[in-house]
Amino acid sequence: MRLDKFICKSTELTRTEAKKLLKMGKVTVNDIVIKDPSTQVHENNDICVEGEELTARSSRYIILHKPVDTICSNVDEIYPSVLHLVEVDRVFDMHIAGRLDADTTGLVLITDDGRWSHNIISPKKQCEKVYRVWLRDPLKTDTEQKFIHGVQLQGEEGLTRPAKLKQVNEKEVLLTITEGKYHQVKRMFAAVGNKVVGLHREQVGAIKLADLPLGQWRYLTTEEVSLFS
């Protein structure tokens, strides 16, 4: 974890205030004065601000059922951030592990544990995400095989990784992918001549949205957290 982030996680200081103290030489790590805010530290390190030892607050892990017209960002843009829906202290110190588009609903994971979220979003981990997809046109019979072998997305050099497709009805499917390319699901169906008219994420890894109401959130259980630890 970055040293400035550790200070913020252990105090009520803002990132700007933490950097100011670092610049002034008020922070030590294992009795050595450190001024670089990007220095990587561990919770086992002896970190002090003006001689007072810090203890980081426990990491938080949250699941949210995202509604439409919200964005997965720490900054409001055309639409408000989903973080406004989460009523916890210093929620904007947290980050979103795997974003959804403004017009997409479903499962969003929120945390302040960077190592944990890395296991979800890193391409090397190939974490499965399950989407319920509603289509403009009936599903073509060869789409499943094309997705298994990978399709060429516009603007991309290689093919997508193998994806699993399960048909619910002629215009509704469940799609499982292990990547997180920009607008990937929409672009995959565009590549086979169809169009996504509705998109909802139901599952990330083994964590399921289940019956969590739209716009509501809860803390993940210890068992759920351990799935990506």
Q: Is 10 helix (H, G, I), strand (E, B) or coil?
A: helix
pLDDT at 12 over 90: no
Better-predicted residue by pLDDT, 40 or 12 = 40
Is 185 in contact with 177 (CB distance < 8 Å)? yes
Rounded CA-CA distance 5/15 in Å is: 7
pLDDT at 30 over 90: yes
Range 142-163 average pLDDT: 95
What's the CATH fold of domain 61-123+210-226?
A: Alpha-Beta Plaits (3.30.70)
pTM for this one?
Answer: 0.85
Q: Is the dihedral of CA 226, 99, 9, 119 positive or negative?
A: positive
What pLDDT does residue 172 have? 98
pLDDT at residue 128, rounded to an integer: 97
Two tokens, residue 6 = 């550790």
> pLDDT tens across 51-94, in order?
999 987 889 999 999 999 999 999 999 999 999 999 998 898 89
Average pLDDT over residues 93-103: 93
Average pLDDT, the chain: 94
Using DSSP's 3-state secondary structure scheme, residue 5 falls into helix
Q: What percent of the chain has pLDDT over 90?
A: 84
pLDDT of residue 9: 84
Q: Which residues contact 95 (CB under 8 A, 6 or more apart)?
A: 74, 110, 111, 112, 114, 117
Let me know if 101 is a catalytic residue: yes
User: Tens digit of pLDDT for each residue in 169-180?
Assistant: 999 999 999 998
Dihedral pair phi/psi, residue 156, rounded to 5°: -110, 150
Bridge partners of 40, per DSSP, are 2
Q: CATH class for domain 128-204? A: alpha beta
The matching CATH number, chosen from 3.30.1300.10, 3.30.230.70, 3.30.750.24, 3.10.290.10, for 3-53 is: 3.10.290.10
Residue ranges, CATH 3.30.70.1560, the chain: 128-204
Q: Collapsing DSSP states into helix, strand and coil, what is residue 47?
A: strand
Q: β-strands 217-219, 207-208: how paired?
A: unpaired
**Mean pLDDT, to the nearest integer, of 1-18?**
89
Residue 43 has pLDDT above 80, yes or no: no
CATH 3.30.70.580 location in the chain: 61-123+210-226
Q: What local confidence, expressed as pLDDT, does residue 219 receive?
A: 98
Q: Is the pLDDT of residue 107 over 90?
A: yes
pLDDT of residue 56: 79
Span 31-46, average pLDDT:
92
Mean pLDDT of 97-104: 95
Comma-separated ranges of CATH 3.10.290.10 domains in the chain: 3-53
Pairing relationship of beta strands 164-169 and 172-177 according to DSSP bridges: antiparallel
Three-state secondary structure call for residue 168? strand
Q: Name the active-site residue from 4, 76, 101, 113.
A: 101
